[in-house]
């Protein structure tokens, strides 16, 4: 988006807006990073995913200046593109199913403020209001009865170019039925950052996301998994307490599905800064854990050819560099396969590289064992 006013905001203001967006959404239907906190009485956009067309109303508040109103076409295009981005994971997973692919944008009369005139919601699947006078950040609300989910986009959020699209994506996630992830709180660490709930800081639904992305329409893996899980729950009667995806486990503490090994998750997706944060800030980190493919965080750092991440992991006192993945390769051997000779040499120079590789069997992450242990049980 090329919004014209107030572009020269400070970085602190931008970060503040990013944190504020979504804090007003207090009713939890379910979460990416999944969960079972569901309220069937609420209507979400994903309930009507089989409709041939979504009718989407948009409008402005009375006090919106001409400079904002001139961007009406860009607003409509952004809404359509954001919805297509959100529905793409479902189209890929279910190529033979028909999902909503027609978005009719209808301009509604101006209102005094967001959430005014609920009669205008009749016959709509979603309403988006550009609010040029309200306080606070953008937010979304779900629907009860015959009304529709609503999104309130504050003018201040519309002034920061691509950040506007990112915030719109976030609020559309709420309208679909998803909740915030990566929420700060007093939680017991399960091997990831002790102060997080959901382990993907670069996801769209993160309450403290950073726009370090190639495109403002990109989704994180937790976003995609959360959407697919919610679809399965709403339309396939998937059990609310079943996380479905490999390497995710349901927490009895908060009912959400977290990645079993957050360090591996961040390494796998190439998020070096968060890997460093976890290594430096979480005493319970499972440094040598292996995922369902048998790969450690070091394996994933090598596969990403991320020198910074590899160095950070090798600097950890308890790191084991000889663990084998499902193809029976150590991280150093994987580095040589990828022709990353410098990474292989760094790993081979590590003190634990002098020990023989541990011959892990190929087994699910929750029941990994040594080959010798498997042989003993087979007797």
- pTM tops 0.85, yes or no: no
Instruction: Confirm if 14 and 163 have CB atoms less than 8 A apart.
Output: yes
Characterize the bridge pairing of strands 150-154 and 139-141. antiparallel
Instruction: Say if residues 9 and 16 touch (Cβ distance below 8 Å).
Output: no
Residues 365 and 291 sit within 8 Å (Cβ to Cβ): yes
Q: What are the φ and ψ backbone dihedral angles of 54, each rounded to 5 degrees?
A: -105, 130
> Fold match between 11-180 and 261-378?
no
Which DSSP helix (H) or strand (E) runs through 106?
Answer: strand 103-107
pLDDT in tens, 319-359: 999 999 999 999 999 999 999 999 999 999 998 887 655 55
CA dist., res. 177 & res. 28, Å (int)? 8
Between 75 and 199, whose confidence is greater?
A: 75
Radius of gyration of the chain (CA): 23
| Helix/strand/coil for 57 | strand
pLDDT(165) > 70: yes
Count Cβ atoms below 10 Å from residue 304 Cβ, excluding itself: 18
Name the phi and psi angles at 105, rounded to 5.
Answer: -90, 120
Domain 261-378 has CATH 1.10.3720.10: no
How far is it, in rounded angstroms, from Cα 39 to Cα 237?
A: 14
Identify which has the larger pLDDT, 151 or 25.
151
- How is domain 11-180 classified at the CATH fold level? Collagenase (Catalytic Domain) (3.40.390)
Pairing relationship of beta strands 248-250 and 257-259 according to DSSP bridges: antiparallel
Task: Give the residue from 222, 227, 207 showing the smallest Cα distance to 45.
Answer: 227
- pLDDT band, very low/low/confident/very high, at 41 (cuts 50, 70, 90): low
C-alpha–C-alpha distance, residues 302 and 345, integer Å: 12
Of 1-5, 56-60, 255-259, give the lowest mean pLDDT range: 1-5
What is the 8-class DSSP label of residue 352?
A: G
Task: List the chain domain ranges.
Answer: 11-180, 261-378
The helix (run of H) or strand (run of E) holding residue 347 is: helix 341-348
Pairing of strands 126-131, 54-60: parallel
49 DSSP assignment: T
pLDDT: which is higher, 322 or 270 = 322
The per-residue pLDDT for 359 is 52
CA distances from 143 to 10, 175, 202 (A): 35, 9, 28
- What average pLDDT does range 214-238 have in this prediction? 85
């Amino acid at each position: 988006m090329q919004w014209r006013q107030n572009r020269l905001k400070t970085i602190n203001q931008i970060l503040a807006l990013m944190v504020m967006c979504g804090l007003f959404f207090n009713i939890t239907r379910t979460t990416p990073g999944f969960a079972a906190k569901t309220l069937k009485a609420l209507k979400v956009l994903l309930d009507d995913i089989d409709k041939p067309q979504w009718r989407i109303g948009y409008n402005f508040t009375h006090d919106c200046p001409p400079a904002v109103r001139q961007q009406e076409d860009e607003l409509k295009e952004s809404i359509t593109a954001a919805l297509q981005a959100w529905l793409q994971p479902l189209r890929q997973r279910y190529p033979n199913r028909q999902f909503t692919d027609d978005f009719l944008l209808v301009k509604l009369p101006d209102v005094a403020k967001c959430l005014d005139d609920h009669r205008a919601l009749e016959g709509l699947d979603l309403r988006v209001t550009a609010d040029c006078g309200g306080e606070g950040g953008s937010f979304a609300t779900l629907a009860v009865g015959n009304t529709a989910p609503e999104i309130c986009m504050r003018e201040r959020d519309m002034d920061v170019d691509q950040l506007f699209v990112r915030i719109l994506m976030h609020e559309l996630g709420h309208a679909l039925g998803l909740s915030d992830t990566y929420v700060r709180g007093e939680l017991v660490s399960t091997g990831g950052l002790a102060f997080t709930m959901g382990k993907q800081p670069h996801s769209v639904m993160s309450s403290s996301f950073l726009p370090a992305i190639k495109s403002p329409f990109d989704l994180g893996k937790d976003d995609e998994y959360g959407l697919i899980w919610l679809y399965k729950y709403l339309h396939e009667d998937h059990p609310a307490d079943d996380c479905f995806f490999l390497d995710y486990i349901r927490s009895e503490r908060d009912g959400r599905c977290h990645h079993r090994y957050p360090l591996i998750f961040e390494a796998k997706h190439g998020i070096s800064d968060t890997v460093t944060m976890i290594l430096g800030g979480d005493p319970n980190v499972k440094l040598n854990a292996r995922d369902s493919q048998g790969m450690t965080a070091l394996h994933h750092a090598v596969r990403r050819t991320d020198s910074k991440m590899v160095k950070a992991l090798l600097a950890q006192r308890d790191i084991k560099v000889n663990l084998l993945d499902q193809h029976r390769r150590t991280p150093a051997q994987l580095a040589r396969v990828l022709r990353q000779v410098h990474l292989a040499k760094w790993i081979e120079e590590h003190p634990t590289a002098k020990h023989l590789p541990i011959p892990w069997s190929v087994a699910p992450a929750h029941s990994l064992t040594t080959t010798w242990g498997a042989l003993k049980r087979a007797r």
